[in-house]
Amino acid sequence: MNTLAEPPVVEISSLDIQVVNSSRSIVSDISLNVTPGEILGVVGESGSGKTTVGLTLLSYTRRGARVEGGGIRVGATDVRSLRGEALRKWRGAEVAYVPQDPSAALNPRLTIGTQLVEGARAHCENETIADTRERVRAMLEDVGLPSDPSFLERYPFQLSGGQKQRVCIAAAFMLHPKVVVLDEPTTGLDVVTQTKVVATIRRLCDERRVAAFYVSHDLAVVAAICDRVAVMEKGKLVEVGSMPQIFRSPTHPYTRMLIAATPNIAAQRTSATQLEHEGPARGETLGTGRVVFSVNDVSAEHGANKVLNGVGFEVRTGECLALIGESGSGKSTLSRTLVGLHAPSGGQVILDGSVLAPYSRERTRDQRRRVQYIFQSPFTALNPRHSIEQAISTPLQLFSGLKGSAVRERVASLLNTVALPARMMSHYPSELSGGERQRVAIARAIACDPDVLICDEITSALDVSVQASIISLLQELQRTRGLAMVFVTHNLALVRSFAQRIAVLEKGRIVECGCTDKVFDFPTHPYTRMLVEATPELIA
């Protein structure tokens, strides 16, 4: 961690980036500096310009944008002056980049070893191949990955999300750069993997005196890793300060809004006298609503691998049950099994006393209507060739029998329900933000007037304010429609704010289930305690 006594290695002064052939600014008057070993967190909502600023350190601007003014220096180098071969050698060797999605960054056709060796040799042409391979092995060990030949011969699809992100971190730090730009590097990772990745980044920056530009919308992670924080809103820098300054005494209303919108697992602590530490390990039902959806001893497999083993729970009308666990615990397989996209190898999924067929296509039309699924990615869940009106009207026509102008009126009403204007009916998914697309996905799901909603990691890619608005919308739908909800997530702080009960899934088994406060404040299973302890918190 840096004491800020050293001169800055990164100096951005009065940076102005505009749309090509326009005077419209994407970011304007940005001035920031970062010293060796320091991690600067850059936070803000989607579209605030934080990634745009970070990428200028690699002399990169997205298509349709240009740097109109200002200075960008790394050490003694004027980054804006770099061209051609000098720029190629600069990227990676002096300023490295860790992307948000490691799956997209790694070549699926090349082994991990080949990719790392080729990346290193592009900048170390005079190094022998044996020395390069030794450099790769040492770097993999430094980020906590195996360095044996069998691991080096694996392809990206054979690695977990956390392992792929560590490979990207290894590639970034391997050439001893002065600066690393990290673009949402823990988005989509479970809390345990996230904690390990964050600790690795912090250690490497400290040991190697690397300055880091850490772009994120997750304020709790920023609080865990960064030395200082810069807050951006609509392309402008609204506040910069130390960690305690920003999180304890924010001066700008936008900063205060971001902090207020960030869920905190410690925000609803209950005392031991208020909540007795007892209860059955497989859970308890709360509320007076009837049991509308239940799972009885469900098992599921992927090929020869058993993914779910004897899972069981109940959900009542108006209740939200959150399913939490690490990546690979079986959460998404379970959610797909509930809606008939993955057949169980044993057990039953029951809707209002009726056992559902394993596959969705074998269920009755009414059963399919009553159990709806919202996919994780708002970017891939909607057909890019269909307008928003088409996306929502298809299930309406299938399940409600509405026709003509009645369909259009109902689509407008549903958009209003999810706080979107009726004019968006003519828009296409590419014209919408991530939060708007997720609202459309919710509108499409509730168009069927379901009894049960299965939500699979639906807020993992959304910034905190959009995430808060989506949760608020789901809570309103629960109140007004009596929806039963199964909410799959790895974000423990988020579900603490709205789920009535929690089921903890480890290696395909439910190891703990109960009311939310009891599970979080007095966990009985070691795995639950580990998840709670790994969840980052904002400064109190």
pLDDT tens digits, one per residue of 436-461: 888 899 999 999 899 999 999 888 77
- H/E segment holding residue 241: strand 236-242
**DSSP β-ladder status, 25-34 and 10-19:** antiparallel
At CA 58, angle to CA 184 and CA 203, rounded to 5? 50
Instruction: From 331, 325, 357, select the one nearest 344 (Cα to Cα).
Output: 357
Provide the 8-state DSSP code for 84. H
CB contact set of 256 (below 8 Å; sequence gap of 6+): 250
Task: Give per-residue pLDDT as tens, 466-520.
Answer: 888 888 888 988 888 899 999 999 889 888 888 999 999 999 999 999 999 999 9
The span from the CA of 177 to the CA of 208, in Å, is 9
| Token pair of 451 as six digits | 């009894």
| Token pair of 299 as six digits | 């098992």
Summarize the chain as % helix, strand, coil (round to 5): 40, 25, 35
pLDDT for the residue 2: 56
Confirm whether pTM is higher than 0.85. no
Instruction: From 48, 1, 525, select the one nearest 252 (Cα to Cα).
Output: 48
| Residue 505 near residue 334, CB atoms below 8 Å | yes
Q: How far is CA 7 from CA 42, 47, 77, 223, 482, in A?
A: 20, 31, 14, 24, 59
pLDDT in tens, the chain (540 residues): 555 568 999 999 999 999 988 888 999 999 999 999 999 999 998 888 999 999 999 999 988 889 999 999 999 999 999 999 999 989 999 999 998 888 888 999 999 999 999 999 988 878 899 999 999 999 999 999 999 999 999 999 888 888 999 999 999 999 999 999 999 898 878 888 899 999 999 999 999 999 999 999 889 999 999 999 999 999 999 999 999 999 999 999 999 999 988 887 766 544 333 434 444 333 344 445 899 999 999 999 988 889 999 999 999 999 999 999 988 899 989 999 999 999 999 999 999 999 999 999 999 999 999 999 998 877 778 999 999 999 999 999 988 888 889 999 999 999 998 889 999 999 999 888 777 888 899 999 999 899 999 999 888 777 888 888 888 888 988 888 899 999 999 889 888 888 999 999 999 999 999 999 999 999 999 999 999 999 888 754
pLDDT for the residue 272: 36
Look-up of token digits 């490979």: 167
Provide the 8-state DSSP code for 62. -
Residue 483 carries which side chain, given as an amino acid letter? L
Look-up of token digits 């003694």: 76
The span from the CA of 32 to the CA of 18, in Å, is 18
Q: How far is CA 433 from CA 91, 231, 272, 427, in A?
A: 30, 20, 43, 12
Instruction: From 11, 4, 74, 12, select the one nearest 37 (Cα to Cα).
Output: 4
- Cβ atoms within 10 Å, residue 302: 11
| Token pair of 90 as six digits | 């600069």
| Residue 167 near residue 202, CB atoms below 8 Å | no
Please write down the long-range contacts of 103-108, taking CB distance under 8 Å and 24 or more positions apart.
Answer: 103/156, 103/161, 103/164, 105/168, 106/156, 106/164, 106/167, 106/168, 107/156, 108/155, 108/156, 108/157
C-alpha dihedral (446, 448, 451, 453), degrees to nearest 10? -50
The span from the CA of 319 to the CA of 34, in Å, is 47
| Residue 12 near residue 31, CB atoms below 8 Å | yes
- Cβ atoms within 10 Å, residue 273: 6
pLDDT for the residue 356: 97
C-alpha dihedral (117, 123, 124, 129), degrees to nearest 10? 20
